[in-house]
Structure 1
Amino acid sequence: MTSLEGETGDAPKRLHSAIIADQLEAEIIAGTLAGGSKLDELALTERFGVSRTPVREALHVLASRSLAERVPYRGVIVANITRERIDNLFETMSEIEATCGRLAAQRMTMSERAALEELHLSMAEMAENGRYDEYERANTDFHTAIFAGTHNEELIEVANGLRLKLAPFRKSQLRIAARMKKSNEEHTAIVTAILDSNAREAEKSLRRHLLSAAKAALSRMG
């Protein structure tokens, strides 16, 4: 049993639920938890040594990422992760991010462009030195900054929601040094286009970036 108990208060509960969600997410992506299998609350509380509250919160996170679904009379079930589903998610995200890139190139303020460039330069150092965890977190900030640069709240909400669904697949591929460096190289083209206010090139660069990410994710499925 993996025990996470020993702390009290809301913050530790949120921490527990995040740890549980991350562990179950990794097992679903790896295929250890097969599609269609039940995620039993009681069994998970015993496994992680916690109360039902953080387990329920973790299952809610998995459902929000479309890694699990609530089925009447059966409870929470692991979703089927198919190549077609991942392909469709990346295709949709590609179009959303391409649109965000085009609008960000036109609408980002000077300070927003400067912050994006600074973030990119720091990520280049992370990629060069193999700092995977830092790069992964910064990568989320990078794409979030582009979404914010559209200054379109509806589009930002859609982009962030879809990004959460894709996050588990993108996260796993950034653990590979070659993919992390390639990702950073692709970011260079994106940042250059945005700094130059080249909307068409920003759109194309982000679409290529998502295509590259999709290929990497699908190759890991065999």
Structure 2
Amino acid sequence: MNESPGRRIPQAQRLRDLLEDAIVEGHYAPGDRLDPEALARQYHCSRTPIREALTQLAVSGMVKVAPKRGTFVARLSVTELVERFEVMAELEGMCGRLAARRMTNESLMALQQAQVECRQCMLEGDVNGYYYKNGEFHRLIYEAGHNAFLAQEARRLHAMLKPYRRLQLHARHRLESSWCEHERIVAALMAGDAETAQRELREHVLLQGERFNDLVASMQRLEQAQT
């Protein structure tokens, strides 16, 4: 009995990632209904892990569940995205400020290792690999602040924006610039410079200037592909 959930959890996570990719890449348009039976046939699995994956996507905000109607792909407008990224930037900045004051040598070493792994993905041009290592990099900073409530809220919003952060990484030279921003964040944390860590993390996440234009252009390409 104990082994069965252990097998289902990785499968649900794999299916969640596949569905997330499919949504971000435009295979499912905003407003499309996601039928568990059809998805189970498509991915050659039972409906149980499909339902678990859809539940995870609902928590992240990627899909919306309408009672008695089903599960539908959510659509975030540009305004909604900007608002969420603004809040995410402030939360990340707070996490960085606290981490600079409170992180242990062990958590700093783990962060440095995550940055090494990000660099390897960046050099290989591995967008998906960088995406996952980047998530680990930020998670370590959340935990290093030793504020469980703040970390929980940061993780929740981070999960909601994950598909759009993945989309950002496909912009030309974004892997390199993201990694360089990480370097400045790590340097500030190593120095215990709370103000600089807060500023660097905030700017790392905030949608502004060319980064905003790149994301809008990527979203427009997806919409054109869908139509």
TM-score, normalised with respect to structure 1: 0.86
Do the aligned partners of 2:167 and 2:218 also contact (CA within 8 Å) in 1?
no
Aligned pairs, number: 215
Aligned to 2:9: 14
- Which runs of structure 2 are paired with 1:201-212 in the superposition (5 Å)? 201-211=196-206
Give the CA deviation at 1:45.
Answer: 2.2
Partners in 2 of 1:125 and 1:24 — Cα distance? 26
Alignment partner of 2:25 out of 27, 30, 37? 30
Aligned to 2:36: 41
Aligned to 2:215: 217
Say if 1:34 and 1:123 are closer, same or farther in 2 by CA, change over 3 A: closer
Partners in 2 of 1:122 and 1:31 — Cα distance? 29
Give the CA deviation at 1:189.
Answer: 1.0
- Structure 1 residue runs of 5 or longer lacking an equivalent are 1-7
- Aligned-residue RMSD, C-alpha: 2.2
Q: Is it true that 1:134 corresponds to 2:132 in the alignment? A: no
Partners in 2 of 1:19 and 1:11 — Cα distance? 13
TM-score, normalised with respect to structure 2: 0.84
Partners in 1 of 2:13 and 2:136 — Cα distance? 19
Give the CA deviation at 1:107.
Answer: 1.1
Say if 1:32 and 1:137 are closer, same or farther in 2 by CA, change over 3 A: closer
- Indicate the SS of the match to 2:125: coil
* More displaced stretch, 125-134 vs 189-198: 125-134
Aligned to 1:66: 61
Query: Structure 1 residue runs of 4+, over 4 Å off?
Result: none
Give the CA deviation at 1:83.
Answer: 1.4
Alignment partner of 1:89 out of 84, 107, 113? 84
Q: Is it true that 1:149 corresponds to 2:144 in the alignment? A: yes
The amino acid of 2:101's aligned partner reads Q
